Structure 1
Amino acid sequence: MFFSIIIPLYNRPEEIRELLQSLLRQSYKDFEVIVVEDGSTVPAKTIVEGFKEDLDIHYFEKKNEGQGFARNYGFERAHGAYFIVFDSDILVPEDYLAIVKESIDEEGWDAFGGPDAAHDSFSTIQKAISYSMTSPFTTGGIRGNKNHVGQFHPRSFNMGISRNVWESTGGYKLSRRSEDIEFSIRMINSGFKVGLISEAFVYHKRRTSLNQFFKQIYNFGKGRIDIAQIYPSELKAVHALPAVFTLGVLGLFILNIVDLLLFNDVVLLHYLVWLGDLFLFSFVVLLLWHSTMVTKSFRVGLFSVVTAFIQLMAYGFGFMRNYIDRVLLRKDTSV
């Protein structure tokens, strides 16, 4: 057995059906699938067992402890030389495992990650979220990009580790919120060879509503401060940019109101407001143009402007909130 695919699951039975259907089409066949139901109230046991004749699949149920510990539970029961971690909301291209196997043979990875993309079947919002999560104007294009700055940190929607990494590190130490970043940092600090397989992408559905997306990214922002509490050197100036952007947008909104109340009589204030509005308008136009070109859809481009602002500001709010709580007020808000 070369690959063990570990999938934590929480109340997403229909998603796991689509993921398993995509695994049926893999050109490389030497793998097992381990589904760990993490205390779901809407279990997927019947759906998973429906694939037993076509996949080497194993279904386990445990109490809810979060995705990090659910993955550890799967690692403990895996038989493969390499463990691949997927989120339940992805689809896997048919040559994924073949690409990963070839890269491992050539590069000797101890751990790896791959990028994500939007499938043609995804909704407009899902495509817009996918764009904003990979855009050079929001994340710097660093997620799954060959030209990423600094050491690549695999993310657990599409991530693999060798059995040796699991046995040496003990797996995830955090169960929720930035658990994958902490694990990646610990693997790298332990001297393992960790890298990006840029061709090993998956189709990532992500959140299906703007409200869910805001909550997810808000927790990402909070999680960055959690990581900094464990590894202070991992907090970089670039991580604060969404907070700076958020404060800038809010400040510009307030200045516009003040400028209107003063009837544009304060020349310096009016000039500053004009410059700020011009910058923000230019940013919106750039996002709209770039997303439309990348996704080949003006409609997706329009929604991408919304999702980009949600992403930057949700991360900024989460980052600032947890910085105040954990750094300034010394509260323990970790999960």
Structure 2
Amino acid sequence: MFFSIIIPLYNRPQEIKELLETLTLQTYRQFEVLVIEDGSVNDAEAIVNSFAGQLEVRYFKKPNEGQGFTRNFGFERAKGDYFIIFDSDCLIPANYLEIVNNSLNTNYLDAYGGPDGAHDSFTATQKAISYSMTSPFTTGGIRGNKKGIGQFHPRSFNMGVSRQVVEKVGGFIITRLGEDIEYSIRIHKAGFKIGLIPDAVVFHKRRTNFLQFHKQLHFFGRARINIYKFFPGELKAVHFFPAAFTLFIAFALISNILQWQIATLCNYLLLVYILLIFFHAWWRNKSAKIAFLSIIAAFTQLTAYGLGFMQDFWKRVIFNRS
């Protein structure tokens, strides 16, 4: 099988350098790389071209349209039997393509997704954010999990689709705000087989500080409502959890300020939750510092997502505004 790896890029030349370096180490060599610069000011043309002797790599420039339509640009120019999408802030283990190829030969999937993890080189904050996004004690626990709730929806930081899927379903029809989940749902509805390849892990840097992480998760919360506008049946009870958590935090603060009796119970519940995160993160990362930062990451994730979710639920569902 010949793979086409498609990477949208926007003003991140150093990231693409690190990603391409990991691709030069792949044990499975039947692949090409398409890097599509999506209207960047700080482009990576020289960096990408420096890999020409190590990879079958092609570089393109186009006006800014967002990652969804940029991936479509790659689909139209790819030569492969199977298209793999990475975010530019990922590092790819050397055996990634070998794992995917062997898995597809054993149990073919028309589209797949893989989990993400933290690389040893990541900062403590990045490792804490990675923990939060993959922890069973946050909504991130349903990502990259074979026992997730409902249908499995690959995420575009680590996602593959066959040429047949693109030819029948087409590409992305929205470019941001949950474009990967919307695409996965359409692939499901077209009758194609989608699944998780649990060993096809990538190391995903995500954000480097909690302010950036807050902005990203606020955007994710809004994206869930955007998906609802396309597919109302895809809004599940679990998607309301971050909003409920955010409201609970607000209620706990008010009850403590006004010295209500229920404040003691609220504080107890929050303490139990904090301790669960701390000790689980410590066990997983073997670091008290990362465990402490994981508490901040988890609260940032849930409240930012919850605020974004409530903002667009109020505006686009209650008031039905565009």
TM bracket, shorter-chain basis: over 0.9
- Normalising by structure 1, what TM-score? 0.95
Is 2:258 the partner of 1:278?
A: no
Retained in 1: the 8 A contact 2:132–2:294? yes
Q: SS of the counterpart of 1:7?
A: strand
Is 2:273 the partner of 1:287?
A: no
1:321 is matched with which residue?
311
Structure exhibiting the larger radius of gyration computed from Cα positions? 1
2:88 is matched with which residue?
88
Counterpart amino acid of 1:280? Answer: L
Distance apart, 1:140 and its partner CA: 5.8
Q: Give structure 1 regions of 4+ aligned residues with deviation exceeding 6 angstroms.
A: none
2:167 is matched with which residue?
167
Distance apart, 1:107 and its partner CA: 1.1
Retained in 1: the 8 A contact 2:118–2:204? yes
Is 2:250 the partner of 1:250?
A: yes
Could you tell me which of 278, 283, 302 is aligned with 1:312? 302
Runs of 5+ consecutive residues of structure 2 not aligned to the other structure: none
Taking structure 1 as reference, are residues 299 and 9 closer, same or farther at Cα in structure 2, changes over 3 Å only? same
2:292 is matched with which residue?
302
Q: SS of the counterpart of 1:18?
A: helix
1:189 is matched with which residue?
189
1:11 is matched with which residue?
11
> Which range moves more in the overlay, 148-157 or 87-96?
148-157
Distance 1:321 1:147 in 2: 30
Counterpart amino acid of 2:127? Answer: K
Q: SS of the counterpart of 1:131?
A: helix
Distance 2:151 2:169 in 1: 19
1:266 is matched with which residue?
none
Distance 2:227 2:117 in 1: 26
Q: SS of the counterpart of 1:94?
A: coil
Runs of 5+ consecutive residues of structure 1 not aligned to the other structure: 260-268
Distance 1:140 1:180 in 2: 16
Q: SS of the counterpart of 2:218?
A: helix
Count, aligned residues: 322
2:44 is matched with which residue?
44
Distance apart, 1:235 and its partner CA: 0.4
Taking structure 1 as reference, are residues 140 and 85 closer, same or farther at Cα in structure 2, changes over 3 Å only? closer
Q: SS of the counterpart of 2:60?
A: strand
2:106 is matched with which residue?
106
Q: SS of the counterpart of 1:166?
A: helix
Distance 1:89 1:180 in 2: 17
Q: Within 5 Å, give how 1:129-148 maps onto structure 2.
A: 129-139=129-139, 141-148=141-148
1:263 is matched with which residue?
none
Distance 2:164 2:248 in 1: 46
Distance 1:217 1:168 in 2: 32
Q: SS of the counterpart of 1:141?
A: helix
Map Cα deviations across residues 45-86 of structure 1 (whole Å, 9 max, x no partner). 000000001100000000000000000000100000000000
- Aligned CA RMSD, in angstroms, stands at 0.8
